[in-house]
Amino acid sequence: MRRFLIGLALLLFIFALGLLVFNFLIMPRLVKGKEVPVPDLIGKTITDAKRIVAENNLNLYIESHRPDPVYPESVIIIQDPLPGSYVVIGRQISVVVSTGIERIRIPDLAGLQLEKGMIILKNRGLRVAVESIPSDTPAGFILTTDPPPDSLVRIKSRVLVMVSSGPEFVMPLVEGKTLSEALDLLKDLEINLKVDSAEATGDTNLIILQFPDAGTRLHPGDSVRLLVAR
């Protein structure tokens, strides 16, 4: 019985020793043999990356997309694990893919006051240019933009804001007319009118000078000066 127990203990010792040798010496070598180096996918297109990982018995996982100022659209900009590290065959390689240079959507600013519209565009990283256009819309309100609303543009792009200068009208000819006739022609125009008088030969109360000249295009708030003979 004693010999049996000694023999059993010896067998158990040999088994434990063999297990330790297998776990710490043999098994790591076997696992190491199933590892492959991670290929460099940064700068590669998705199509090329899929081919490369397949050739290395790995899998590709697209984790996210984001803008990038350097790499064009559909090109890998980040990968995990890093190139050159070793992973087990079949391991998943996570990547982040570029959507290209960041683009800003042009908002619809029609109907907003110019100052407010400019603040919105500048807060989005866009440059602003302004062009005044005659319109029935009150002066100072935005009509549209170029590029138009919903267009996608690069950050720091120039956006032309077309703003209303108000209704446009033509200065009528009032020279030679009486003051009352001139006032009747100008009464519906939203202008700043100034009337002066001066000594002159001929009939009195006639307009002898007007500024601006007849045919000049005017906008609400423009100044008009008349000189009347006395």
Residues 39, 50, single domain; the answer is yes
Residue 72 confidence (pLDDT) = 93
CATH of the domain at 91: 3.30.10.20
Indicate the number of domains in the chain: 3
pLDDT tens, N- to C-terminus, the chain (230 residues): 666 556 655 665 676 565 555 555 555 555 555 899 999 999 999 999 999 999 999 999 999 999 998 999 999 999 999 999 999 999 999 999 999 998 999 999 999 999 999 999 999 999 999 999 988 898 899 999 999 999 999 999 999 999 998 888 889 999 999 999 999 999 888 889 999 998 888 788 899 999 999 999 888 888 999 999 98
Q: Which helix (H) or strand (E) holds 153?
A: strand 152-154
Residues 40 and 90 in one domain: yes
Residue 190: its pLDDT value, please?
A: 80
Tell me the C-alpha distance between 162 and 149, whole Å.
Answer: 12
Give the global pTM: 0.56
Q: Are strands 103-105 and 59-66 parallel, antiparallel or unpaired?
A: unpaired
Asked if residue 27 is part of any domain, the answer here is no
Residue partners of 222: CB distance under 8 A and separation at least 6: 191, 192
Same domain, 159 and 184: no
- The verdict on residue 138 lying in a domain is yes
- For position 15, what pLDDT does the model report? 62
Are 152 and 174 contained in the same domain?
A: no
Query: Does residue 69 lie within any of the structural domains?
Result: yes
Contacts of 40 (CB under 8 A, 6+ apart): 79, 83, 84
The pLDDT score that the predictor gives to residue 221 is: 83
Question: Strand 76-80 and strand 152-154: pairing?
Answer: unpaired
Host domain of residue 212: 169-229
